[in-house]
Amino acid sequence: MRIVFLFLLVGFSALASCDGCEESRSKRDLLIRTKRRWVLSTIEIDEEMKGDYPQFVSKMYNDKTQGKEFRFEISGLAVNLNYLTIDEKTGEVFVHKPIDREEYPCFHVIFDVYDTETNQKIDKELAFDVDVKDINDNPPTFMKIPKDFLVNESQPEGLLGVEVIGQDLDEKNSVNSTFNITVIKQDPLEPKIQAKWIDERIVHLNFTGCFDYDKAKQYQITLEAKDHGTPPLSSTAVITLNVGDTNTNMPVFKKREFQAEVHEMDLIPELFRFKVDDKDTPNTDGWRAKFFFISGNQKGNFKVETDPKTNEGVLSIVKKTNYDNTTLVELVIGVENIEPFTKCQNGKLIKNDSKLYADRIVVKVTMLDDNDPPEFHPPKAKVYENEESEPGRVIFTPKVVDPDSTSFRFQLVEDPADWVSVDEKTGEIKTTKKMDRESPFVDENDIYKIVIAAIDDGKPPATSYCTIDVQLRDINDNKPQLANSSLIMCGNKNKVIISVQDLDGEPYCGPFTFAFDNEEDEKQWKLDPTHGQQGGLVSLKPLPFGNYSVSLLIGDQQNNVGHQTLAVVVCDCGDTDKCRAKQPLSIDFGGPGVALIIAGFLLFLILLLIFFCDSGEKQLKDMTDEGTQTLIKYNQEGGGSACNAEPVYPTSTTAHDGIMQSNVMLKSNIPSEYHFNEEMYKSKNNMTISMNSHHQRDSYRSQEGRSMFSSMASNRMTSYRNKSLSHRYSSVRSDYNLTSRIERKLSMISKSDTDNAGDKTFGYSYEGTGSKCESLDKLSLSNLGDDFQFLDDLGPKFKTLADICQ
């Protein structure tokens, strides 16, 4: 059993931590075993060992090493920190430097033995603890101690409220860590301050006696913490104790006598100011003064209070008092502080009633008797009256007493609606108009307020006032009315709520009854509900948007019926309860629309550029008459030459470009030398020829006159046409432009000459190969810049034609 016990002991020591170090300290003896493999002793090392290092501490053995080459090894924190080493051959353990127990109270060390040839363990490892023995190398210190502390001088003796906590880092529960805390010095010496133990580490300071701020305002307290080790170690700390000033001095009046004369019934906010002197610290509750009446103010006519800015007392008259004769009033006023008075006397704190030590003064006030005003009995009255009562009723007669006068008069002071009058001698109040409970001059409690005054004949006259509250009783004098005469019915709803108001009160108001005043309204409306504080108007069928008028009969509880007309607006409300406003017109072009606008603008700029370029290249020449050798324009052809060709009369009427044109086919044979640019004329299906002057309209209203003019013009121009045949080939363009202008003129005449059936233009078809007789239609006339030099020498025949035309 002993062998088993030793093995268990070794195993547990191998698993133990530093906490196990303390448990192993009880086994200080050598562990010796019969037929043992390991022989060792528990190693103890003194803290902070003195002497030269290294120092021998222990030696190890193992019986399995006999006959073998071996070596010892140790491992652990002590080895890593170079505190412990072992001799490989002998097993001797050495310590190499001092160990601080407060840092390393013990070490856990592992021992091994190896075969030097095979480098294998000869035996199982052995673990044990190395204990460091404590010495008294740490003095006790103060963990928690206030540097400054405030104590009021009025604090009663006992605990100060100062807590001090100390500690010692040496081994717990040993003489080295046990200590005491004491007060070793204080300045000044009174009151006596001591340390009182709470537990082994905490002490509280207490005192006996009292503090006096006037004698000492600050104390220095020196504390010592001392242990029981050998040698004993200690430390000190100083606490500064500040004494707070309290009310240990009573305030004193600077002035002792006060006298004044005032008129009775006067209210004076500041009659006197009292200055005081106090030796306590200013602006503290022990310095702030508090004044009070000792005698003379039994009726409460006076008031004394403290001005917080100046600490002065302020005496005022706050209540009117009527004295029969001039009277002298004596007021005894005392002063104390807000904080209760205390005093340290003969080492004892004395607390007494402040008023016993309070300073006092006497204030004399002479109240002068004046003319007292009349007194109403009562000064405020209440009367009841039915609204709309006939005027002339007496609703109130006051009762007035005046001890100083026998004659006085009454006056109406307040009558906002001008409903009453007052008798100047008796004060009798009489109605002059009907009173209306619903008037804005009546308050929410149905009370109408009247104020009258009584003025005596004294010198000076005195006045008093009386308030009369007239409680008006309601009658049913108002018919129900619509709260809102116009309502909105949204298109997605078919009902609106009808709100009604009645200025009368109960029982002359709602709930109300609702009915139609017009039978036609019952065809498209119904009332639901028909009784209640509110009514409902329901449409029987969907109504088009618009305005509707509904006549209603609304009666109150007493069947006082009012005729009302309700305007109903049926509209589209959307998601709200109001009619939706008309949406403004808007156009959203989008991307393509914007592109088209830009393209149109660019096209306009291009056309404008072409127009300016074309007009710059060509200039129109003026063809006005400048002499006898100039060709003159004519709007009337005159007579025509005889033509043997057989005309083809109009066979059909066609519409071309909005103009009615008569188509006539002209058949003629034109010599080959006259064939020029015939394709130019074929491009126009119908050539229209018309006179464009409106004031020459009568010249071609007759078909016969037109033929004569054409024949004469043809004969006169025969010679001209023969001479200008060669030039006509170069005037095709001018003919085409002239044709376009004639077409425009025909269009203008056709639109403006619709009033006369005979005033019409006739269109002539292209003449084909030409007529046998030459006529003016073969002339090439141009006003667009052609060369007219050939007209300078047309011969005497053309001059004759010109004279005839002119």
Q: What is the pLDDT of residue 655?
A: 36
- What H or E segment, with its residue span, contains residue 660? strand 659-663
652 vs 243: CA distance, rounded Å: 139
Q: How high is the pLDDT of residue 251? A: 93
Q: Element (H or E) spanning 705, and its range?
A: helix 703-716
What is the second-level CATH architecture of the domain 141-244? Sandwich (2.60)
Phi, psi dihedral angles at 161 (to 5 degrees): 95, 15
**Token pair listed for 61:** 């053995």
The pTM for the full model equals 0.40
User: Which residue ranges does the chain devote to CATH 2.60.40.60?
Assistant: 43-133, 141-244, 252-368, 375-473, 481-571
3-state secondary structure 119-168: CCECCCCEEEEEEEECCCCCCCEEEECCCEEEEECCCCCEEEEEEEEEEC
d(CA 699, CA 187): 150
Angle at 344 (CA atoms; ends 339, 350), nearest 5 degrees: 65
What does the pLDDT read at residue 413?
94
Tell me if 676 sits within 8 A of 729, measured CB to CB.
yes
Query: In the numeric block, which tokens belong to residue 372?
Result: 């007292």
* 114 touches 133 (CB < 8 A): no
Note whether 183 and 142 are within 8 A (CB): no
Q: b or e along 580-600 (b: 16 or more beta carbons within 10 Å of the residue's beta carbon)?
A: eeeeeeeeeeeeeeeeeeeee
The count of other CB atoms within 10 Å of the CB of residue 699 is 16
CATH code for the domain defined by 252-368 = 2.60.40.60
Q: Which architecture does CATH list for 43-133?
A: Sandwich (2.60)
Peptide bond into 378 cis (omega under 30): yes
Token pair, residue 150, equals 């405030």
Six token digits for residue 311 = 């600490």
Contact in structure between 629 and 788 (CB atoms under 8 Å): no
Distance, CA of 441 to CA of 570 (rounded, Å): 40
Amino acid letter, residue 214: D
**269 preceded by a cis bond (ω within 30 of 0):** no
First to last CA, the chain: 173
Is the CA virtual torsion 499, 504, 509, 514 positive or negative? Answer: negative
Give residue 25's pLDDT.
44
- The residue behind tokens 């430390």 is 235
Could you tell me how far CA 108 lies from the centroid of its own chain? 71
Under-70 pLDDT residues of the chain:
1-42, 324, 582-590, 614-739, 745-793, 797, 806
Q: Which tokens hold the place of 340?
A: 């209760």
Cβ neighbour number for residue 469 with a 10 Å cutoff: 16
**Tell me, what's the pLDDT at 174?**
82
Identify the three-state secondary structure at position 766.
coil
Q: Which CATH code fits 481-571?
A: 2.60.40.60
Please report the pLDDT score of residue 383 as a whole number: 92
Please name the amino acid found at residue 169.
L
The architecture CATH gives domain 375-473: Sandwich (2.60)
From its phi and psi, is residue 51 left (phi > 0), alpha (psi between -120 and 50) or beta? left
Instruction: Please give the distance of CA 622 from its chain centroid, rounded to a whole number.
Output: 80
Question: What is residue 407's predicted lDDT score, i.e. its pLDDT?
Answer: 84
Nearest to 447 by CA among 417, 492, 478, 407: 417
Residue 276 has a pLDDT of: 95
- Cα 139 from Cα 234, distance rounded (Å): 5
